[in-house]
Structures are given as C-alpha cells and as structure tokens.
Structure 1
Amino acid sequence: MAREFDAVFIGAGHNALAAAVHLASRGWSVGVFERNEAPGGACRTEEVTLPGFRHDLYATNLGLFAGSGFFRDHGDALARHGLAFVPTDDCFASPAPDGSWFGVSRDIEKTVARATALSPADAARWRQMVADFSGDAPHLFALLGAPMGRRRLAALGWKAWRAKGTSGLLELGRLLTSSPREFLQRNFEAPLIQAALGAWGMHLDFAPDVAGGALFPYLEGMVDQTMGMVIGKGGADTIIKAMVARIEELGGSVVTGAEVSAIRRRSGRADGIVLADGSEVAARRAVIAGVTPGALVDRLLAPSAGSGDDGFDRGARTFRHGPGTMMVHLALSGLPDWTAGAELQRFLYVHLAPDLDGMAQAYAEAMAGLLPRRPLLVVGQQTAVDPSRAPAGRHTLWVQVRVVPGTICGDAAGWIEARDWAEAGAAYADRVIDIIEEYAPGTRGKILGRHVETPADLERRNPNLVGGDGIGGSHHLSQNFLFRPMPGWARYRTPVDGLYLIGASTWPGGGLGAGSGYLLAQDLAGR
C-alpha cells in the first residue's frame, strides 16, 4: 500500500468517502483510514438479530443522498458498482391512541383525504402549502447545499428577494427562525397533523418549542409529498459499498482496522497522519478529518497542544452535542398489526408520539438526565418496502428512540433504578416494546430476535456519536448555518494549514446528504 497520498482521510464515514470519490475523480490520489473493521460510520447494515435479517444499524433514509449534488455528479458511476435505491410512496404516518391517524403519501389525494377526516381547513391548507412549495424549494435547497460564507449568503438572499419580493423573503426568514410548534399551529389546527410533522423536528434535536426547528418538519412533509422517500436496496450500506468500490477503481485506498492516533505537522502544516501501530502516512495536499471538533483538538492534535488558536480550541471543546439516541432492532414473524388499520403496514415510518406536548415533555426529561416516561418512537418498516432484507415472509423493525440521556440521572417513570446503560438498556427496551404494543397489540409475540444499542453502545462503536448523539451535534440556531461547528469556522478549514474538518458536526449537519464532504472536495479540486 502506498504510504503517501495527495489527500489522507481520518475516518470512513459517508462524507469522507464522498469527498474521496470526488477528489479521486479529479485526479487526486486518496487514502482513507478507518479504525473499525468496516467503513461507513453511522451508515452500516448488519445481521445483528438472526441470520438473513439485515438491519440498518443507525441511519436508514437515503433521500438526502439521492437528492444531493454529489449523487448528481457521481450517481452513474456508483450505480455501476451496485448502488440501488428502493422508492416508497407511503412515507410516514402517526397514529393516535384512539385509532385515528394521519399519514403522508406521494398521492396527494390520499394525504388530503386523511387530513380532511381530521380538519377540512387543514386539508385545504395542505394542498395550498404543496402548491407554494415549488416557489420555496429552489431557495431553501440552494441554502442547504451552499458553502457557508457571507458573500454566498448575500447572493442567495438577493436571488430570493428578486424572485419572492420583500414579503416572501421575510416569510422564508420567519420559517427559518420559528419553532416547530409556532409554525405548525400557525398552519394547522388538528393536533395529530401537527404531531405527525413535528416529529421530524425531534430527528434533529428540535423539540416543539426550540427556535429554528420549523424548517425540518416543513421540508420533510413537502419533499415526501412531492417526491416520496427512498431507502437502499438490501440496506443503507449500498452507498458505502459503491463509494468504496469507486475509490478503489480510481486507484485510491480504503483501509479498515487502522486507527489514527495523531496528525503529523511540520513547519506549521498538517502533512500526514500517525497510525496506532506507529507507522506514518504522508499527505501532500490535505489531511481531512471526519471526527468531532473535540476529538480533533484533544486527541488528534493534543501531542502538539491543540490547533494553536485558542478561540478555535475553546469552541471545539465546548461544541454542544445533541441528546442521546437508543436503537432497538427486531426480527419479526410479521409486521405489527396496527390498531389504526392495516394501511399503516405500508408506511416506511410510523411515529409513535400523538401530540406536541408529549414530545416536549420527553425532550425535557431527557435533557434533565431522566429516562423519558414516553419517548418518541420512530418505527421503521423497511421490509414493507424492501422484502430483500429478511427471509421470505419475515420482517425487520427499526426502532429509534428519541430522545434519551447519554448519562442517566433517574427514570421519569420511577421504575428503572439502574443508572448505567449497561444495566438499564434491556429494561428500557422493554418499555419501548410496551409502547409499540399499545398501538399494535401482539407485536411482542412476533419477535424472533432483538438487538439493543444504547447511547453507550453507539459511542463505543463510533466515537463520533458522543453520548449516543446520532446527529453530529445540536442543530440549534446558535450552532447551525454560519455557526457550525463554531463561529468563523464554517468552511471546513482549521487554524492548521492543510488540515480540514468534515462530517455531521460541520455544515450542513446530520443526515446522509454527503454535504460537507462534497462541498470541501469541490473547493479543493476547483469544482
């Protein structure tokens, strides 16, 4: 294996792999070094319950990846290496304890009919919102896909003003700064419609009353309504396998089981890495780290006393991580029999959180260090869309628990005495199954195998998931856009010449959109 590359990557998360693909396609030699025995970071698919049941361990929705600039540039090449998507028209649904429910399907008449049953006024508002989305989408997607810089933002603002006028630009600004509750109650009167959309805010650390969280429920609702969702054929790791194969086809290397212990610096410039076994790898043009800001400063740069910039180091060490996440993976003999109706078995996502107040309470409990009495459950029914992930007639269930504390101080329900996740995990997973049983009685009897990953397990598998934070750090306004990961450092540079930081902790944040890796690679390669 070569011991010198134009660009050396620390970590093989999807952002690093995307950047390596792009740079290699522009003639750079690239080497990617990953501590784990498999690449992918938080995008991994494994048989963790029973043989033949393929579970996406963490991330599962590939909509951001399929709609990304990176995929538009490299999708054909990745398809030659096996990348395949499975679309779904029935995207997400939220049932209530009384059996009522709301769900978004790509067929707008189905969505509108469900809304009409809850509120005719909301149905009309939904139809109007979808019609107006075509005017908002170009500006919002341009913002989310652009590098963060004052000139770029000014240009985007000018373009939006020319297209929408002052009132339209103010409405976009209002959307970007509103909390989910403000936005949803401003537009819909039915609590179940508010809850179905508000659940998407919780995916990115936006409880109902956190400013700046309205954008995500709005975008998810509108994008799913107009485009549907996609997952990976056979597992989310289809994107990882294809990117690794493409890197190797272009002459690059992806090395697993190779932990990086330090970044090498000479004459003030990062020019390579030191592996845990003491060997060194040189980087002629760039060292690109897919780690958290804190890990960069305290682990990889610590031998040289940080970055040399006190402000950068202080910001890295105080970078705010989001609350914890817990994963419960189930192998089932059949899909849950939802009390709200068999139609829910067709949906990729079923959110179990019937109102905004319940979500707000669960979030407050988790932030106080308590195991929430009733957390939001994101139930993924991937095999309803992609049967190839399980043996014939069998199913997987992907249950993401939003949100839980990384460190347990108590139990809001007063039942679980353990204060360590190693002891509390199984009992809390039982609570999760109990909640599912309320909405789909008999699910427990269909369980063939169960695998639980607590916040402690998530961090052990992937140190970037600090305290089980699955989104790469809080996306609150003070740590997003120009402030991600910290003010003045939103363009992936660091105070060390030749050293760059990418990943979910950098703009544009969490999700499988390959944004930071692609944006940096375009910059380094001159597009």
Structure 2
Amino acid sequence: MSKNYDVIIIGSGSNGLAAAIHLQKQGLKTIIVEQSVIAGGATKTEEITLPGFKHDLGSAILPMAYASPFFRELPLEKHGLEWIFPKIPFAHPFEDGSAYACYKDLEKTAAQFNKDEKSYKKLLQPIVKNWSQLENSLLGPLKLPKHPLKLAQFGLKAFLPAKQLVNHYFKEEKTKILFYGAAAHATLPLNNLASGAFGLVLTSMAHNYGWPFPKGGAGNFITTLLSYYQSLGGELELSHNVKDLNELPKAKAYVFDITPKQLLRIKATNFPSLYKKRLENYKYGAGVFKIDWALSEPIPWRNKKCRQAGTVHLGFSQKEIESSEIAAHQNRDNTKPYVLVAQHSIFDTTRTPKDKHTAWAYCHVPNGNLTDHTEAIEAQIEKAAPGFKDCILSKSTMNTKALQQFNPNLIGGDINGGKQDITQLFTRPIASLSPYSTPNPKIFICSSSTPPGGGVHGMCGFHAAEAVLKSIFK
C-alpha cells in the first residue's frame, strides 16, 4: 500500500465497490482494503458441498444489481458479466398443488387471478409504468423528489403494512400469498408500517427487469466489478483487518462498508460520545438460517410454474407467513417458516457437473438464533415437491453465528445491515446527520446500514461517494 490516496474504502462488498468505482471515475486515487482473502462481502460463490457444485454463500438472485441505476450504467458485460434470466422471476406454490407466477409480463401475471386481475393492475401498473421516475427516490436517502406527485402516489401504498395492503386490494388468499412472498423479503412482520413497500418494489422490478442472476455464480458479479474498478486504476488490498484508523495511510476521506456495531470498534475515529451512543442504539433485524444442497436432479415441484422460476417462495397460507415473520422478531422458533428458494442450475449448467443440480434456501429466524432449521425448511419444500429429500446428495448449513463468521457485516445473521422498519428505513444509521456522514468530517459510511438498505444494488456506496465528493472534493 502506497502513501498517496485521496480516499480509502474499508470493505469490498457491492457498496464498497460502488463507492470506489464512482470516486475513481471522478479522477480520485482510491484503494479498497478488505479483511477477507476474497473480495465481495456476502456475495461469493464456492464449492461447499461436493466437487463441481458451485453455491452462492450469501446473495444468490440479484434483481437489484441488474436494475440498479448505478450498476446498469457500467460496461460490466465488456468485463465478462453475463446475466441469466429465468422464464419466471418468482413463483409461489399452494397446498392444493396449484401455483401463481410473477411473470415479467404484468398482464400475463394478472390474468391468473380470477377476482383480483383488475386490482392487481390497479396496484402495480402505475409503479411499473413510472419506475424510471421513482427509482432514484426509492433507492436513496430522503430528499426533495423530482416527481413529487408520483412519489406521493407510491408512498400512500408503500407506507401501509403488507397485511393491510393485500387485504385492501385483493379478495383471493392466493393473490395475497403471492404478494407476501415478495413483501417478506423485508424481514419484517407483515403488519409493520411500510412492510408493503418491499413487495411493491420487488414485484415492480420483476415486471420491469425480471429477477436475473450472474452466470457461473453471484461471485462473478463481484469479479466483474473488480475488473472494471482495476481497469480504472483502482487498487485492492486483501487480508487486512482494519482495527485502527492510524494504521492506514493518510487520506482525505475514509469510507467504511461496515455496520455501526463494527464502526464503533475502530480506534482513532474521534467520534463524540453522543454519536457513539446513537450508533450503539442502532437496531439490527432478524437473522436467517441458510442451506445449500447438491442434488441428483432438479427439485421435483408438483407445479410446472415452480420448475420455470429462478426463485420460489414457500408459505402455504396468509396466516402461516404472517406467523413466521412475527416469530422471527419475538425470539421464537417456527416449525412452518416462510422459505425463500433459489434454483440456479436449471438455467445455468455451468454451476454443476452434468445432469446434477443445486438449490439454495433460507428462512428468517430471531437475531443470533442457533437452532438448526434444516428439518423445517426441507419439510416446507417437500410439501410442494414430494421426493425432494431423495434428491439430496449433500448439504451445507449456516446458522446466524456461521453467517456472521463468514461475513462480519451480518450481525446476528441480519443480511440487511439493520432492521428495515419505518424508524430506520430512510434515516439509518441515525437521523440527526446525513446518513453517510459522521461527526468526523473525514469518515463516511457506505454499507447497507445506510439508505436504501439491504440488497446488492450499490446505491448505498454511490450515495456515500456523492457525499464524499460534496463534502471534501467540492
């Protein structure tokens, strides 16, 4: 590491990389310092079950990366990135063997719903149509919007709890369950204010962009970002765990891709006690329990729509999904959890040996929970895909402790960098300052603990880099 940098970025997740790329493009000299031996934060791909089976250790389906206003302007395809688009972005099977699919085509999706076809269009069409005018406001900090009326129209819906939203718009439980599948990505109880926002955003992204993933593994997205960053002259140093700001070269700014709890442990930040107290009070959300499987064949879903979907959500009644998400926030285990399943190898044969397959899944659990939820997750899949357990060749599990060991940003297994409820959605990590700035004018935060929160989209990094440019490089 040399002694001459404008900005040093600590952490190489998608947000750290986004911040570094944006600053490097402005002509600044940057370096990313990463404690792991591999860059990427929670976005990595490795063989963790059997030889030749590539599994995404953290993030798996990356719709927000593809839809990101920042990432989609980068020439990543020229650096080797190839996107895979499942025929169906996500599907949801039901107890009677039927299933609903969220197709990229909104009209085709709505046509499945008998009594709810018009209501579905009424709810989603305005957002899908106006997405290009909404995305910068939705994927950033609070500020005066360029399209206030359209944002207000979205906000009136998004502010509602998901439960209230579906009960207002839909008559059929199956339609409600399909929407719940997307909304529950928020990792919030579905009766919480603004939990409906996540269902609206993710479903709108499905209709506008699909839910794609990188060919060969999510880790290839990071590899591509790094290739582009280094082509701009950016530097990377691995295996360097920063514990003290004084151990780094002098720079005009330091940008941390870490959460508040970790930032508090960094020495020589010179934060005032009041700011430290606010960081200490930052709330983390529920965790996850994750499983990767090596399979002898694809998951034998009863319904063909599930076989054509990259992502399948499981939860067999409105009440079951509601109870699952409440339990994760009340420190209770749940034997019938809401489960997210990703199945890449049906669409991407580069991930497995010939005629073999992989699957990836997790359920939400209380933060720090150490219970083994393998049996509960596999039972939910088996219910919609009888014979699934017979297809398992090998498996790898990670509880909340293992996830945090894998990536220290995942505090207690929280994959969103903090609880994404109404109190922290736009003001994270604290409300009294710019969410990316700190009382130390040289220190900034770009992790998913800043707006717009969790997901591989890089927008936290982009906005943090903008804050650096405005504050220091005017």
2:143 is the counterpart of 1:127:
no
Q: Is the 8 A contact 1:490 1:507 kept in 2?
A: no
2:255 is the counterpart of 1:288:
yes
Deviations 1:481-500 (A, max 9, x none): 1x211112344110112110
Structure-2 residue corresponding to 1:222? 204
Q: What letter corresponds to residue 405 of structure 1 in structure 2? A: P
Q: For 1:252, which of 216, 224, 234 is the aligned residue?
A: 234
Q: For 1:143, which of 134, 137, 152 is the aligned residue?
A: 137
Question: In 2, distance between residues paired with 1:407 and 1:88?
Answer: 33
Question: In 2, distance between residues paired with 1:245 and 1:44?
Answer: 15
Q: Is the 8 A contact 1:139 1:160 kept in 2?
A: no
Q: Is the 8 A contact 2:294 2:395 kept in 1?
A: yes
2:342 is the counterpart of 1:380:
yes
Could you say what secondary structure the match of 1:448 adopts?
strand
Q: Is the 8 A contact 2:245 2:266 kept in 1?
A: yes
Question: In 2, distance between residues paired with 1:176 and 1:351?
Answer: 21
Q: How does 1:221-240 map to 2 (within 5 A)?
A: 221-240=203-222
Structure-2 residue corresponding to 1:334? 297
Deviations 1:235-279 (A, max 9, x none): 111221012222222222211111111123xxxxxxxxx2xxxxx
Q: For 1:346, which of 289, 308, 316 is the aligned residue?
A: 308
Structure-1 residue corresponding to 2:62? 62
Could you say what secondary structure the match of 1:370 adopts?
coil
Could you say what secondary structure the match of 1:449 adopts?
strand
Greater fraction of residues in helix: 1
Greater fraction of residues in strand: 1
Question: In 1, distance between residues paired with 2:225 and 2:250?
Answer: 21
Structure-2 residue corresponding to 1:98? 96
Structure 1 residue 139, shift from structure 2 partner = 4.4
Question: In 2, distance between residues paired with 1:357 and 1:503?
Answer: 34
Name which of structure 1's ranges 103-112 and 508-517 shifts more when overlaid on structure 2: 103-112
Structure-2 residue corresponding to 1:268? none
Question: In 1, distance between residues paired with 2:333 and 2:31?
Answer: 42
Structure 1 residue 470, shift from structure 2 partner = 0.8
Structure-2 residue corresponding to 1:185? 167
Q: TM-score scaled by structure 2?
A: 0.94
Structure-2 residue corresponding to 1:270? none
Q: How does 1:267-306 map to 2 (within 5 A)?
A: 274=247, 281-297=248-264, 299-301=265-267, 304=268
Residues 464 and 134 (structure 1), Cα distance of their counterparts in 2 relative to 1, 3 Å cut: closer
Q: Is the 8 A contact 2:341 2:361 kept in 1?
A: yes
2:154 is the counterpart of 1:172:
yes
Structure 1 residue 130, shift from structure 2 partner = 4.3
Residues 324 and 131 (structure 1), Cα distance of their counterparts in 2 relative to 1, 3 Å cut: closer
Question: In 1, distance between residues paired with 2:325 and 2:127?
Answer: 30
Unpaired runs of 5+ in structure 1?
Answer: 265-273, 275-280, 409-420
Structure-2 residue corresponding to 1:17? 17
Q: Is the 8 A contact 1:112 1:123 kept in 2?
A: yes
Q: How does 1:426-445 map to 2 (within 5 A)?
A: 428-445=373-390
Structure 1 residue 194, shift from structure 2 partner = 0.8
Could you say what secondary structure the match of 1:59 adopts?
coil
Deviations 1:98-156 (A, max 9, x none): 212211112345423422xxxx22012223444323454244313123443xxx32x44
Q: For 1:467, which of 412, 435, 455 is the aligned residue?
A: 412
Residues 227 and 67 (structure 1), Cα distance of their counterparts in 2 relative to 1, 3 Å cut: closer
Deviations 1:157-207 (A, max 9, x none): xx323xx5xxx83x4332232000111111111112111111222212222
Could you say what secondary structure the match of 1:259 adopts?
coil
Q: What letter corresponds to residue 53 of structure 1 in structure 2? A: F
Structure-2 residue corresponding to 1:364? 326
Q: Is the 8 A contact 2:416 2:455 kept in 1?
A: yes
Aligned-residue CA RMSD in angstroms? 2.0
Residues 357 and 140 (structure 1), Cα distance of their counterparts in 2 relative to 1, 3 Å cut: farther
Question: In 1, distance between residues paired with 2:411 and 2:464?
Answer: 24
Could you say what secondary structure the match of 1:92 adopts?
strand
Could you say what secondary structure the match of 2:8 adopts?
strand
Q: Is the 8 A contact 1:45 1:237 kept in 2?
A: yes
Task: Please list every run of at least 4 consecutive aligned residues from structure 1 whose deviation after the TM superposition is greater than 4 angstroms.
Answer: none
Q: What letter corresponds to residue 447 of structure 1 in structure 2? A: I
2:401 is the counterpart of 1:456:
yes
Structure-2 residue corresponding to 1:510? 454
Could you say what secondary structure the match of 1:53 adopts?
coil
Q: Is the 8 A contact 1:144 1:508 kept in 2?
A: yes
Could you say what secondary structure the match of 1:393 adopts?
coil
Q: What letter corresponds to residue 213 of structure 1 in structure 2? A: S
Deviations 1:62-99 (A, max 9, x none): 2211222222432x1x3222122112330111111121
Question: In 1, distance between residues paired with 2:70 and 2:130?
Answer: 22
Question: In 2, distance between residues paired with 1:58 and 1:89?
Answer: 23
2:57 is the counterpart of 1:112:
no
Q: Is the 8 A contact 2:115 2:172 kept in 1?
A: no
Structure-1 residue corresponding to 2:430? 486
Structure-1 residue corresponding to 2:2? 2
Could you say what secondary structure the match of 1:8 adopts?
strand
Residues 130 and 291 (structure 1), Cα distance of their counterparts in 2 relative to 1, 3 Å cut: closer
Q: For 1:320, which of 253, 263, 283 is the aligned residue?
A: 283
Could you say what secondary structure the match of 1:93 adopts?
strand
Deviations 1:319-359 (A, max 9, x none): 111101011000111112112x2332110111111223112
Could you say what secondary structure the match of 2:101 adopts?
strand
Structure-2 residue corresponding to 1:417? none
Structure 1 residue 307, shift from structure 2 partner = 4.1
Residues 496 and 331 (structure 1), Cα distance of their counterparts in 2 relative to 1, 3 Å cut: same
Could you say what secondary structure the match of 2:328 adopts?
helix
Residues 112 and 201 (structure 1), Cα distance of their counterparts in 2 relative to 1, 3 Å cut: closer
Structure-2 residue corresponding to 1:501? 445
Q: For 2:183, which of 201, 207, 223 is the aligned residue?
A: 201
Residues 523 and 407 (structure 1), Cα distance of their counterparts in 2 relative to 1, 3 Å cut: closer
Could you say what secondary structure the match of 1:478 adopts?
coil
Could you say what secondary structure the match of 2:245 adopts?
strand
Name which of structure 1's ranges 483-492 and 231-240 shifts more when overlaid on structure 2: 483-492
Question: In 1, distance between residues paired with 2:270 and 2:94?
Answer: 51
